[in-house]
Amino acid sequence: MRKQQRADHLLRRLEELYPETPIPLDHKDSYTLLVAVLLSAQCTDVRVNLVTPALFALADNPRDMMRVPVEKIREVIRPCGLSPRKSAAISELSKILVEKHGGEVPQDFEALEALPGVGHKTASVVMAQAFGVPAFPVDTHIHRLAKRWKLSAAKNVEQTERDLKKLFPRESWNKLHLQIIFYGREHCTARGCDGKSCLLCGEVR
C-alpha cells in the first residue's frame, strides 16, 4: 500500500470509528479555550478539565483575569504542572488581549503565536476549534501515529504537520486531528501497540 493509499484508507476508517469529535477541553468561548489549551502542555486534558472550573470562577475573560494576582492563578493551576510559567503567561496574554486586541482573541496565527505561552500547536488548536479555520495541530499522539502508519518519517512535529497536510484534504484537517488523537489514546498508545497489533496498524502495514 502506497503512502497516499494508506492516508485515504485511514481517513475513511477514522471517520467510521469517530463520526463525532467533541472537543476534549471544556470551554465556553475562544478565550477559555485558549487558556485551557495553554494549560494542557505536558498535562492531560482530564486534569485540565478538573482545574479550569476553579480558574474560570476567578475570571473567565481577559479583562478580569489581568486583575487576578499571578500568585493566585499559580495556586489554582498548580496541578497542571509548570504553574509558574503558565500562570505568568495567562496573566500577561490577558493584558495583551485587552491592550492590543480589544479584549478579543485574534483570529490570526501570527497574532496568536505572539502571545506569551502560545506556540504554533496552541494557535492551531484555537484557530481550528474556536474559529473553524483549517489547521492540523500535531501533538505527541499524532506525531507517533504518523510515524507508525508510515505517513511521515519526520523527527519533529513541524515537519509531521507539513507531511500530513499534503496527504489529507484541507477540509478534513480540523476533524481528523481529533480523530487521530482519540484513536491514539484509545487503541494505539505508546506502549500498548508495537506498530503492528492494533486495528488500524494491522490494516496499513
What is the CATH number for 197? 1.10.1670.10
| Domain limit, last residue, from 80, 97, 129 | 129
| Domain limit, last residue, from 110, 129, 148 | 129
| Domain limit, last residue, from 129, 150, 166 | 129
Q: Which long-range contacts (CB under 8 A, 24 or more apart) does 159-168 make?
A: 161/124, 161/136, 161/137, 164/136, 164/138, 165/136, 167/3, 167/4, 167/7, 168/7, 168/11, 168/136
How many domains is the chain built from? 2
Q: Using one digit for the tens of pLDDT, what is the confidence trace for 67-85?
A: 999 999 999 999 999 999 9
Confidence of residue 58 (pLDDT cuts 50, 70, 90): very high
User: Over 90: is that where the pLDDT of 142 sits?
Assistant: yes
Mean pLDDT to the nearest integer, 44-66: 98
Q: Examine the domain organization and report whether 100 and 157 are in the same domain.
A: no
Which pTM value belongs to this model?
Answer: 0.94
> 97 and 104 in contact (C-beta within 8 Å)?
yes
Q: Which residue has the higher pLDDT, 197 or 36?
A: 36
Q: Examine the domain organization and report whether 11 and 43 are in the same domain.
A: no
**Domain of 198?**
3-22+136-203
Q: Examine the domain organization and report whether 155 and 108 are in the same domain.
A: no
Q: Examine the domain organization and report whether 63 and 150 are in the same domain.
A: no
Q: Examine the domain organization and report whether 109 and 171 are in the same domain.
A: no
Catalytic residues: 121, 139
